[in-house]
Amino acid sequence: MLTPEFWVTFGVFCVAASISASMVWLEKRPKQELSPRLFPTTFVLLLSGAVVVLAGIHLLNLIGLHTGNP
C-alpha cells in the first residue's frame, strides 16, 4: 500500500491542496483598488482544484477502493 507511487501522489495532492488554499485566500481578500490583479488566481485555483480531485481519486485507487468500472 505505501509504495513510492503512493508517496509521490500524496506529495502532489498536498502541494496542489496548499496552492488551492492559498488561491482561495487571495480571492477572498477585499480589493483595495479597482484595478485587476496581475496574477490569474481564478485560473490557478481551477487547475490546482482539478489536480486535487484527480490525485485524490488516484490515492483512493492505490489504497484499494475502486472508483470506476472494473
- The confidence score (pLDDT) of residue 43 equals 94
What's the pTM value of the predicted model, to 2 decimals?
Answer: 0.83
Question: CA nearest 27: which of 44, 47, 15?
Answer: 44
Instruction: Give φ, ψ of 32 to 5 degrees.
Output: -90, -35
Confidence of residue 64 (pLDDT cuts 50, 70, 90): confident
Q: How far apart are CA 29 and CA 25, in angstroms?
A: 6
Alpha-helix residue ranges (DSSP H) falling in 29-68: 41-63
Which long-range contacts does 23-30 make (Cβ < 8 Å, 24+ apart)? Answer: 23/48
Q: What is the pLDDT of residues 19-57, one digit of tens each?
A: 999 999 998 988 888 888 888 889 999 999 999 999 999
**Model confidence at 12: pLDDT above 90:** yes
Q: What is the DSSP letter of 66?
A: -
